[in-house]
Amino acid sequence: MMGRFSGKTVLITGSAGGLGRAYALAFAREGAHLVLADLKLDGLDETKALVELAGGTASIHQVDLGVEAEIHAFATAVLGLHDRLDVLINNAGLHAGEIARGFFGLGMAKWQHFFAVNTIGPMLLAEAVRPALKAARGLIINKSSMASYTPATAYGITKASLNVFTHAMATQFGADQIRCVGIAPGLMQTEAARAGVADETWERLKGLQSVQRQGTAEDIANLGVFLASDEGSFVNNQTILCDGNNQMRGFRF
């Protein structure tokens, strides 16, 4: 472990696998204690075991971030255990099979669920753990998407809305010296990113990148570690694309 986050606490939602797990391992290697949250307990157990194998420590919490009561119960538990929270990573997200098609015909209930998990939930969680973030002069990282820049799907639209929330949160939380930034991944080699995208489409889109290799969860996690470190401490109120300069961000429709 390199130890840049020794004695610090990092909360990561959606950490049962994929990008959330990559964040957990990256911060564990730097000495952080991890608070891991997800709906999938089996995946959380696996992430915790990997964190401990890397020499870190972690607690796990099952929570549905689309349900306000569960968000508040989770936040109460976190505040009961931690006076300080150095980093909150709002990584959890939802596309429910709608990541590669247009948005008509979804209906009110599905739209509300998308917005609850992808847009409003991250703000409510940050608001609920604000005292601990304030004590640490911490950082909030919201997971956006390349799809937010030409939003033509429910996923892209809710992520574009999250970009606006990120700006507003940076302004509002700034009164407590809490920073808020967004990270917008491009084509990342994760199970969630690949779902619903045909192999030939994937290769075509990768060919539109200036950086001709597949993006990885570690690329995003490393950016998160930088932004949370002393080296990144003057970056605020930005949503940063990490997409290899892909020129077709709105491809999913």
pLDDT digits (tens, 9 = 90+) for 125-174: 999 999 999 999 999 999 999 889 988 889 999 999 999 999 999 999 99
Domain assignment present for residue 231? The answer is: yes
pLDDT in tens, 199-220: 887 777 777 888 878 889 999 9
Q: Poorest-confidence range of 20-29, 131-140, 186-195, 244-253?
A: 244-253
d(CA 147, CA 157): 8
Domain containing 63: what range?
A: 9-242
CB 253 within 8 A of CB 153: yes
* Radius of gyration of the chain from its Cα atoms, rounded to whole angstroms: 17
Domain assignment present for residue 176? The answer is: yes
Instruction: Find the catalytic residue in 155, 165, 173, 251.
Output: 155
pLDDT in tens, 11-33: 999 999 999 999 999 999 999 99
155 a catalytic residue: yes
pLDDT in tens, 32-77: 999 999 999 999 999 999 999 999 999 999 999 999 999 999 999 9
Domain assignment present for residue 253? The answer is: no
Domain assignment present for residue 248? The answer is: no
**Mean pLDDT over each residue of the chain, to the nearest integer:** 91
Domain assignment present for residue 214? The answer is: yes
pLDDT score of 193 more than 50: yes
Residue 192 pLDDT: 67
Q: What secondary structure does DSSP assign to 81-126, as a single string?
A: H-S---EEEE-----TT-TTS--TT-HHHHHHHHHIIIIIHHHHHH
pLDDT score of 253 more than 70: no
pLDDT score of 250 more than 80: no
Question: How many domains does the chain fold into?
Answer: 1
Domain assignment present for residue 252? The answer is: no
d(CA 106, CA 95): 12
Domain assignment present for residue 108? The answer is: yes
pLDDT score of 249 more than 70: no
Domain assignment present for residue 50? The answer is: yes
- The residues that bridge with 215 in the sheet, in sequence order, are 188
- CATH code for position 188: 3.40.50.720
Paired tokens of 9: 């606490």
Predicted TM-score (pTM) of this structure: 0.92
Could you tell me which residues come within 8 angstroms of residue 67 by beta carbon, excluding any fewer than 6 positions away?
116
pLDDT in tens, 70-80: 999 999 999 99
